[in-house]
Amino acid sequence: MQRRMDALPQILRPFTAAKRELPRALVLTGHRGAGKTTFLLYHARGRRILYLSADNPLISAIPLYEAVTAVFMYGYEGVIIDEVHFAREWSIHLKALYDDFPDRAIWASDSSSLVLRKGRGDLSRRFVPLSMPLLSFREYASLVTGQTYPTFDPFDKIPVQGDARLLELFRAYRKHGTRPFFQEGAFGERMMAVLEKTLHSDIPFFIPRITDDNIRLMNAVVGYLAKSAIPRLHVRSLCADWNIGAEKLYQLLFVMESVGILRVIRKERDTKAQSVGHKLFFGDPVYYDVLGGDPGTAREALAAAMLEEAGMTVTATRHEPDGDFVVTRPGKEAVVLEVEGPSKGKKNADYLIRDDTDIPAGTTIPLWALGFMY
């Protein structure tokens, strides 16, 4: 833990520094490499809180309840449990620890949003959920320049000037800026390692009886998305090609979405329990650059990611001529967006999101401005 504390970056992503105080019981989820461990260690400074990682072989050999009880018996006021889903029956143990040690802090983290839904023992009533989004463009610009940028709603006003320096930063952000480890170099290799770790280590914990063919199918979906200009999956042909049932396929896609590999954009008012959505993107749009993906698809994926990571609901329009997305902002009316490059028009959308402009004009919003919402 001390080695990790000593290695904390000098400049933290604004999301980490903005949180003043954490609740006694917390489950922090988010993409691998988004900075969850740094977040928890930063908030543990100056307190007798011990860090444990459940995927460490020394820890995994001991029941979680026993390990954490021993920590508390040594006088620690709290514990951080990283990669909590690696611990056997982790949710039952967390519930017991919460009930048996009402004066101790228990902070757990995991890379999947499924962790609370899959847990037993009614964790949701005891542990406060907190989701860490991908690094926003605003945060990336702050980390690179040391300058503090304001958050704003680009549909209301854009108080930041889109000058040459900012546009240069945005070009870099869309290639490697969504996770704080961009500062450590070899970004593409690190992203591929994240993808492999997620597919081979995380997903099997959430899908019973997963097979090697299931892993190969998920790799094939990744490869298809990297090269497809029209990101849609055909369930019937996939099931036939891979000799897999539709229910299992939907299960795989659901978990891939929950661990952040996929971003499923469903049609407006789509209430189907099982759906591959109308459009399918990478959960992190930088994978299009890492894997040599289609630029137009990458543009739409980036817009959808920035909007959803900011807490908005994004669906596909029911009628293509209306635009690309219907965006619902908390407490405001939904708006229709068209996301375009140099050559296309606004259709019937309320706003046009343009990738080739530096300043707003009427109902045209620069793509980079969506990155300042958080």
Q: Phi and psi dihedrals of 236, rounded to 5?
A: -60, -45
197-205, long-range: CB within 8 Å, 24+ apart, which pairs? 197/32, 198/32, 198/111, 198/259, 198/260, 198/261, 199/261, 201/55, 202/32, 202/85, 202/111, 202/112, 202/259, 203/252, 203/255, 203/256, 203/259, 205/85, 205/86
Given this model, what pLDDT does residue 179 score?
Answer: 95
Q: Give the range of the structural domain holding residue 352, as residue numbers without chain letter.
A: 137-372
Residues 153 and 288 in one domain: yes
Given this model, what pLDDT does residue 268 score?
Answer: 79
Residues 150 and 11 in one domain: no
The token pair at 355 is: 């990738």
Number of domains in the chain: 2
Residues 151 and 263 in one domain: yes
CB 322 within 8 A of CB 349: yes
Given this model, what pLDDT does residue 292 score?
Answer: 93
Distance CA 192, CA 292 (A): 13
Residues 125 and 153 in one domain: no
Residues 227 and 278 in one domain: yes
SS3 content of the chain, % helix, strand, coil (to 5): 45, 15, 40
DSSP string, 113-163: THHHHH-SS-GGGTSEEEEEPPPPHHHHHHHHH--------TTT---S---
DSSP 92: H
Residue after which a domain boundary falls, among 132, 166, 192: 132
Ordered per-residue pLDDT tens for the chain, 374 residues: 888 888 888 888 999 988 888 999 999 999 999 999 999 999 999 999 999 999 899 888 899 999 999 999 999 999 999 999 889 889 899 999 999 999 999 999 988 777 766 655 567 788 999 999 999 999 999 999 999 999 999 999 999 989 999 999 999 999 999 999 998 889 999 999 999 999 998 898 888 789 999 999 999 999 989 988 877 888 888 899 898 999 899 999 999 999 999 999 998 777 676 777 789 999 999 999 999 999 999 999 999 999 999 999 999 998 888 889 999 988 888 999 999 865 555 578 999 999 988 999 989 999 999 999 99
Torsion of the alpha carbons at 242, 253, 114 and 201, rounded to the nearest 10: 50
The token pair at 254 is: 């659901």
Secondary structure tally for the chain: helices H, strands E? 16, 12
Residue 305 CB-half CA count within 13 A: 31
Residue after which a domain boundary falls, among 132, 153, 174: 132
- Using DSSP bridges, classify how beta strands 279-282 and 262-265 pair: parallel, antiparallel or unpaired: antiparallel
Residues 297 and 354 in one domain: yes
Residues 91 and 234 in one domain: no
Residue after which a domain boundary falls, among 84, 108, 132: 132
CB 217 within 8 A of CB 248: no
Tell the residue number behind the tokens 């099997």, with chain if given. Answer: 204
Given this model, what pLDDT does residue 338 score?
Answer: 94
Which residues are registered as beta bridge partners of 325? 316, 337
Distance CA 191, CA 176 (A): 9
Residues 43 and 72 in one domain: yes
Residues 63 and 108 in one domain: yes
Residues 110 and 241 in one domain: no
Residues 107 and 168 in one domain: no
Q: Could you count the other beta carbons within 10 Å of the beta carbon of residue 210?
A: 17
CA-based torsion, 167, 170, 175, 180: positive or negative: positive
Residues 241 and 324 in one domain: yes
